[in-house]
């Protein structure tokens, strides 16, 4: 029962929580009310932002789960970043926008072996804009499933975000839904569907990282992705 009230906090978040809490304490001691209340709200928000709730991850081999919490704000055909090694033909790109109120832990969309982890510096445009995929700072991750299919997803910094954290390395074997990093503070995550994957979500749908099934592999069915463009 207590687990419903006490959600784990990212290790990376404790120093930010500590800084805000210390500033709030100093404001309280000095009696500066106009500073105390905003700092208290920021301290409480930082605890909320760095939460890392457990997830119930589906274990089917034929699916791709959401790599992040947030709202699907775009589904478009797009050429993947070159560093992913997914070729130069357009693939279905599903973009998940994370507000500052979403869980910011990223999770791998499928089980497999990490092949590419490539950082690229860039701008800090609003992560909701389409140009953010090409222009913003990003971390591109490509994985190889057990059947040899390559899956790519990208952590993208937003105008508030200034740090992308990636906790996996090339050659590492990962399980579906496994934590792979996070982004501070407000961002976007793009998932590129490989050929043969059938899209199961639409624009405006809310994702739960590691739980929501975004696509499935079904060689006998036509991909639904073309209906979303």
Q: Which residues are catalytic?
A: 187
Measure Cα distances from 81 to 134, 147, 173 in Å: 8, 23, 22
* Residue 224 main-chain phi, psi, to 5 deg: -80, -10
Q: Point out which residues pair with 164 in neighbouring strands.
A: 183
Q: Which helix (H) or strand (E) holds 135?
A: helix 132-135
Order of strands across the sheet that contains 63-65: 63-65, 213-217, 197-199
Q: Which of 41, 49, 38 is nearest to 14 (CA)?
A: 49
Order of strands across the sheet that contains 163-166: 105-107, 179-184, 163-166
Which tokens in the block code for residue 213? 């099934």
């Amino acid at each position: 029962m207590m687990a419903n009230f006490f959600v784990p906090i990212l290790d990376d978040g404790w120093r930010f929580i500590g800084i805000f809490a210390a500033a709030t304490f100093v404001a309280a001691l000095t009696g500066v009310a106009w500073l105390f209340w905003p700092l208290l709200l920021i301290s409480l928000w930082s605890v909320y932002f760095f939460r890392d709730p457990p997830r119930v991850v589906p274990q089917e081999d034929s699916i791709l789960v959401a790599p992040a919490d947030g709202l699907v704000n775009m589904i478009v055909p797009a050429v993947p970043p070159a560093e992913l090694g997914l070729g130069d033909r357009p693939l279905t790109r599903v973009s998940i926008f994370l507000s500052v109120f979403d869980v910011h832990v990223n999770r791998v969309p499928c089980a497999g072996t990490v092949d590419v982890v490539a950082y690229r510096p860039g701008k800090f445009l609003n992560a909701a804009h389409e140009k953010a995929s090409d222009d913003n700072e990003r971390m591109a991750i490509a994985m190889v499933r057990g059947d040899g299919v390559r899956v790519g997803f990208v952590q993208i910094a937003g105008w508030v975000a200034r740090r992308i954290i990636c906790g996996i390395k090339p050659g590492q074997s990962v399980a579906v839904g496994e934590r792979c990093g996070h982004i501070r503070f407000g961002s976007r995550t793009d998932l590129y569907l490989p050929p043969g994957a059938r899209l199961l979500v639409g624009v405006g749908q809310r994702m739960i990282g590691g739980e929501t099934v975004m696509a499935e592999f079904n060689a006998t069915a036509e991909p639904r992705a073309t209906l979303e463009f």
